[in-house]
């Protein structure tokens, strides 16, 4: 179990919301927190849902924003350009809390947001962006998709810069949040929706 505080269930909606963002902030920094590895779903180019695990890189309550990094050669930028709706799914076993959050995504490849995020990436993360083949490209045979000289090592600072051109940040401005917290004596489920800055729904839902 990660270092999540042992919270009593918050039985009012404002507290549920603030506890949620506080936990998301912890999960960004704590690789052992189960919310560190959410599932992000997009609408695929053929209209089918596409869901995959990512690393949660930022959770900003004031701007209602969740962030992940990705390879710009993947299909994700094209999927997001076609349909900006993105859904995030989290589950944390310690307190048995599921989050379903969704909103509108923006992609950042060549701007200051991407530069700043790139400056904070570790050398081991940068190695992924040096992959010779675009993610999801079909291979004639198994290939680790890493430069030969980096199979068992991480790049140095200078070599790692070669990955910058493949790096991209995806930000989601959250406008829906559904939180389900399981308890033997009664589950708690709340939903929040926003339109711009305005809160348009704050409700308990039947779990
Ligand atoms: C633990 C874990 C963490 C991952 N983190 C990321 C990530 O932060 N960004 C990313 O693009 N892919 C990440 N991946 C890989 C994706 O799950 C996925 O396989 C890849 O992005 C290709 O997805 P796509 O075909 O939808 O583009 C991660 C996979 C695992 C297993």
Can you tell me which atom of ligand 1 is nearest the CA of 55? 8
pLDDT in tens, 152-187: 999 999 999 999 999 999 999 999 999 999 999 999
Outline where DSSP puts E strands in 110-166: none
**Do 101 and 41 meet the contact criterion of CB atoms below 8 Å apart?**
no
What domains are there in the chain, each with its CATH number? 13-204 (2.30.110.10)
Residues above pLDDT 90, as percent of the chain: 94
Q: How far does the centroid of ligand 1 lie from the alpha carbon of residue 88, in Å?
A: 13
Can you give the C-alpha Rg of the chain in angstroms?
A: 19
Say what the pTM is. Answer: 0.95
pLDDT in tens, 2-13: 444 445 677 799
Handedness of CA 136, 46, 55, 165 (dihedral sign): positive
- 40 backbone dihedrals φ, ψ, rounded to 5°: -110, 130
When the pLDDT of each residue in the chain is averaged and rounded to a whole number, the result is: 95
Q: How far does the centroid of ligand 1 lie from the alpha carbon of residue 65, in Å?
A: 19
Question: Count H helices, E strands: the chain?
Answer: 5, 9
**Do 58 and 28 meet the contact criterion of CB atoms below 8 Å apart?**
yes
Is 133 in a helix, a strand, or coil?
A: coil
**Do 170 and 87 meet the contact criterion of CB atoms below 8 Å apart?**
no
Q: What's the whole-number mean pLDDT along residues 17-30?
A: 97
Q: How far apart are CA 89 and CA 51, in angstroms?
A: 10
- pLDDT in the model for residue 10: 76
**Do 109 and 167 meet the contact criterion of CB atoms below 8 Å apart?**
yes
Residues with CB under 6 Å of ligand 1 are: 37, 50, 52-55, 68-71, 74-76, 135-136
Q: How far does the centroid of ligand 1 lie from the alpha carbon of residue 8, in Å?
A: 33
pLDDT in tens, 49-90: 999 999 999 999 999 999 999 999 999 999 999 999 999 999
- 194 backbone dihedrals φ, ψ, rounded to 5°: -130, 150
Q: Which of 81, 86, 82 is nearest to 104 (CA)?
A: 86
Handedness of CA 25, 28, 32, 35 (dihedral sign): positive
């Amino acid at each position: 179990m990660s270092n999540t505080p042992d919270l009593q269930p918050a039985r009012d909606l404002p507290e549920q919301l603030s506890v949620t963002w506080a936990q998301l902030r912890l999960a960004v920094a704590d690789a052992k927190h189960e919310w560190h590895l959410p599932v992000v779903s997009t609408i695929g180019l053929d209209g089918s849902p596409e869901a995959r695990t990512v690393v949660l890189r930022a959770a900003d309550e004031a701007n209602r924003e969740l962030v992940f990094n990705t390879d710009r050669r993947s299909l994700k930028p094209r999927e997001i350009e076609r349909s900006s709706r993105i859904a995030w799914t989290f589950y944390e076993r310690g307190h048995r809390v599921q989050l379903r959050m969704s909103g509108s995504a923006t992609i950042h490849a060549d701007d200051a947001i991407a530069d700043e995020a790139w400056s904070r990436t570790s050398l081991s993360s940068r190695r992924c962006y040096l992959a010779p083949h675009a993610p999801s490209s079909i291979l004639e045979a198994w290939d680790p998709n890493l430069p030969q000289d980096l199979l068992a090592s991480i790049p140095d600072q200078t070599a790692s810069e070669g990955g910058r051109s493949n790096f991209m940040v995806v930000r989601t401005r959250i406008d829906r949040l559904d939180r389900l917290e399981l308890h033997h004596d009664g589950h708690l489920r709340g939903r929040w929706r926003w339109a711009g800055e305005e809160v348009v729904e704050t409700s308990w839902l039947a779990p």
